[in-house]
A and B are shown apart, each in its own frame.
Chain A
Amino acid sequence: MALRRYTTVVDGTIPIPALLYNDEELLASQDNVGIYDGYQKAMDHQSGTVHVTTHRLFFMNVRSAATQSFSMDLSHVIRTDHYTGLFKSSPKVTLFLDANSVSNSGNGDDADARFESWECEVCSYRNPPGLSPAAAQVCSLCGVPRNAVPAPTSQTSSGALPTPLASFPTSSTSLPGTPSRSGSPPPHGNGDPESIACSACTFLNHPSLPVCEMCFTPLPVVSQRFGNNNNTRTKSAPSSRPVSPVSAAAVDPANLLIKLSFRKGGEKALYNILKRALKARVWEVSRYRHECGFFCPLIAVEFAREGRSERFRGMANRNVNASVKNTQTELSDAFQDLEALMVKARDLVQLAAELNEKLNASSTIANTPGSASPTGSIFAVTSLAPSAEPEEAKFIRSSLSQLGLQMTNAPVTPDMIRDERRWIGELARELAGILQGTSDDTPGQKPSGIMRQRGIVGLDEVWGGWNRARGVALIPPSTFLQTLQFLPDCTSPPIYNRTFKSGLRVLHTPPYTHASFTARLLGHLMLSEVLTTSQVAQEEKITISLTAEMIEAVEVDGVVCRDDERSAIRGGGSGSGSELRWTLNMFEEYVWDGQTFD
């Protein structure tokens, strides 16, 4: 149904270039394509070649090219969709068609009329045949619509004349497009005694009656006939039964679509070209171009009516030319501005790159003596001593930062530092700032950092906190772990990395090393003999799970031993709810003092 309504049969034996309008261009072709009419396969159009032009979509049937090929105006397409295909289902492109537009080329007469040459009513220019329908509607010389003179509407003649420029927006609607296609306007007078079929009882009434003579059902208004080609056509047919307004109008809008099924691929390229063609809307551009000069045609119409067309011709031409010229200069001005901007931008980027290179060069020169030292310590190279930097470089850096090109707390990113080791070293320093707070903070403010208050922190928390602080260019765990080995050198007190038996990794300050924690724990146990894990955690102000890990590490040394509450006779927890109690291991030197036998 969609197929029949929107397409025109063309002779597929004619080569494509011969079928095109003069202002039409062939964009792409793809063979092995099948057509779906709505959601059903169109049985007659299962194998053919699809051609996309600026105006139309051609389907050239392979089997019966002469009768089963068609063309469709792209102006009907309101939306497209692309389906990539799955297993045996071929990729498809769906074209959703506008329910309100009807193919203007349903009958052969129209198509023929289009290819006739015609003389403009205003300027007498003989327009050559072969232009696209939209372009053919207006004179290619003066831009006056083809039928402007014979059928001027009252709106255009009165409204547009006093203020020609203000009439632009309305001009598109007032353009006599669809109704006057057949070349001459439909008969306007009421001399035609065409009877009107009643929608209820099908009685054919006299056109002047407002209601049905038989059943008093209100009849369709006579004036509607003018705007509705289909109505008049059906009425002229010898029919005793009323016909529903339009058969095509009953079609579900959802079904108004055509699918192109690409049996042998190629859908991507074609779809892109098709989309571009739809976006370009060449058929409208040509119409717009003529509308630009539309105020002149209106004047021309007036003059032509008064029989002064001769005098007007030159004037109309001048106006058209002037408006086209205006548009062109404005456009070229805009492009010139853009080009200038691009040139400047390139200069700016170049300048920044040069500056950066110079800075890098100067800083490496400053650091060369350090790298030559026999110690070979990487930190002699990596640490960028500020004092070693030349004054100029420092000045440039500071002005850069003043310009906002370099923030003081900007995250270190790999493109800022070329050398991998230096990059890690810089990262370690940044991390140190996050953990302990930077020393160059404002003096009144207490430096803050993740590990300012706490001596031991889980690695996951540090990683998350660091990346949150960076915000951009997040650090992957692998780089994070690499950074950790440099951390003790950048922090004071040094922060170490430790992995527990369970795999839990932490960062900690010296008070939380294994040795010092053991010493503290033994001291606590000395005083209170027995301590539960949570008591130790409370004492140490760290989490219970961390405490458990640390005590278990001490237990490995054999200096403490555990007492599981699960082995209590009465009470006591069971399962994971029970707690471990820790005592000093005083059993190493235990001597048997129980029962002996001689």
Chain B
Amino acid sequence: MGTTDGHAGFRLPSIHAAHAFFTEQPNPTTQSVFTDNWTRLILSYARHRRLFVIRVEDAEVAGGDWDEILRNERINRRVLPSYLNSLISAMVSRNLAYYEPPKQTRSVILLWRLPEEWADVLHSWGTATGQLNTILTLYEITDPPVPSPLSGIPLSLLRRTITILTRSGRAQLIGVADGEGVRLLTGGK
């Protein structure tokens, strides 16, 4: 077993080449090791490719963004949807993902950065681009003209981020005519 580089420049861990890694283990100790490694693998890959969402469907249908992780053609193994589902629920219970939309268990938003980390990223981005004290629409943050670390961030995750900034007094949520706006403040820190 050795590490391999995926076609998108992602270095796959050696455990991804083990057959047993793709089977859910009845032994809880063994399975917790596997879950740890799967969580890390999924989050790393998501961060590498800036993927925010993983669905159970990604294990059911080939050809999606996640094929490189969920399938290993070289050893003829793939993650079964039921296994992915239990991995997802394990990640949710560890606060590394949350169900989006809520009240279902087949699709999650991955927190490869925790909301607190995202808050720091947002604030520092605002500081760096000199947009403190100006009112920004949420759209201006998720889809800025110049690509930013926040590009493509899902709205639900952005709202959580802003909520955290609001609590620490570093942002203010403002209702505007056509939606919501946010004003980043210099804040405490």
- On A, residues with C-beta under 8 Å from B are 530, 552, 555-558, 561-564, 566-572, 581, 583, 585, 587-588, 590, 592-597
Given A569-B71, A595-B48, list of 17 further CB < 8 A pairs? A555-B25, A558-B27, A561-B23, A563-B20, A563-B77, A567-B22, A567-B77, A568-B76, A568-B78, A569-B77, A587-B34, A588-B30, A590-B37, A593-B3, A594-B15, A595-B10, A595-B45
Interface pairs (27), CB distance under 8 Å: A530-B19, A555-B25, A557-B27, A558-B27, A558-B29, A561-B23, A561-B27, A563-B19, A563-B22, A567-B83, A569-B71, A572-B76, A581-B19, A585-B30, A587-B21, A587-B30, A587-B34, A590-B37, A592-B13, A593-B15, A594-B12, A594-B13, A594-B16, A595-B11, A595-B44, A595-B45, A596-B44
The residue of chain A having its C-beta at the shortest distance from the C-beta of B28 within the complex is A558
B33 within 8 A of A: yes
Cross-interface CB contact of B78 among A567, A587, A594, A596, cutoff 8 Å: A567
The residue of chain B having its C-beta at the shortest distance from the C-beta of A530 within the complex is B19
> From residue 78 to 108 of chain B, which have CB atoms closer than 8 A to chain A?
78-80, 83
B73 within 8 A of A: yes
B63 within 8 A of A: no
CA distance A596 to B43 in the complex (A): 10
Q: Is the CB of A569 within 8 A of B18?
A: no
CA distance A58 to B73 in the complex (A): 99
Q: Name the A residues within 8 Å of B80 (CB-CB).
A: 566-567
The residue of chain B having its C-beta at the shortest distance from the C-beta of A563 within the complex is B19
Cross-interface CB contact of B33 among A566, A572, A587, A596, cutoff 8 Å: A587
CA distance A583 to B25 in the complex (A): 12
CA distance A561 to B34 in the complex (A): 11
CA distance A530 to B41 in the complex (A): 25
- Count how many chain B residues have C-beta atoms less than 8 Å from C-beta atoms of the other chain: 37
> From residue 1 to 55 of chain B, which have CB atoms closer than 8 A to chain A?
3, 10-16, 18-27, 29-30, 33-34, 37, 40-41, 44-45, 47-48
Q: Is the CB of A594 within 8 A of B27?
A: no
Q: Is the CB of A561 within 8 A of B30?
A: yes
CA distance A588 to B25 in the complex (A): 13
Q: Name the B residues within 8 Å of A557 (CB-CB).
A: 27
Shortest beta-carbon distance, A299 to chain B, in Å? Answer: 104
Q: Mark B133-173, 1 if CB is under 8 A from A, else 0.
A: 00000000000000000000000000000000000000000
Q: Is the CB of A563 within 8 A of B23?
A: yes
Q: Is the CB of B30 within 8 A of A593?
A: no
Shortest beta-carbon distance, A592 to chain B, in Å? Answer: 6
Shortest beta-carbon distance, B151 to chain A, in Å? Answer: 17
Shortest beta-carbon distance, A533 to chain B, in Å? Answer: 14
Q: Which of A556, A567, A572 has the most CB of B within 10 A?
A: A567
Q: Is the CB of A561 within 8 A of B41?
A: no
Q: Is the CB of B15 within 8 A of A587?
A: yes
Q: Is the CB of B33 within 8 A of A588?
A: yes
Cross-interface CB contact of A555 among B21, B26, B76, cutoff 8 Å: B26
CA distance A29 to B87 in the complex (A): 87
Nearest first, the 10 A-B pairs at minimum CB distance are A594-B13, A563-B19, A564-B23, A595-B11, A561-B20, A563-B20, A558-B29, A567-B22, A595-B44, A569-B78
Q: Is the CB of B13 within 8 A of A571?
A: no
CA distance A595 to B77 in the complex (A): 21
CA distance A590 to B20 in the complex (A): 13
Q: Which of B22, B41, B79 has the most CB of A within 10 A?
A: B22
Q: Name the B residues within 8 Å of A569 (CB-CB).
A: 71, 73, 76-78
Cross-interface CB contact of A594 among B11, B19, B23, B79, cutoff 8 Å: B11
Q: Is the CB of B20 within 8 A of A570?
A: no
Q: Name the A residues within 8 Å of B41 (CB-CB).
A: 594
Q: Name the B residues within 8 Å of A561 (CB-CB).
A: 20, 23, 25, 27, 30
Shortest beta-carbon distance, A421 to chain B, in Å? Answer: 41
CA distance A566 to B77 in the complex (A): 9
The residue of chain B having its C-beta at the shortest distance from the C-beta of A552 within the complex is B26
Q: Is the CB of B3 within 8 A of A594?
A: yes
CA distance A547 to B126 in the complex (A): 64
The residue of chain A having its C-beta at the shortest distance from the C-beta of B11 within the complex is A595
CA distance A566 to B73 in the complex (A): 14
- With A567-B23, A590-B15 given, is the CB distance from A597 to B34 under 8 Å? no
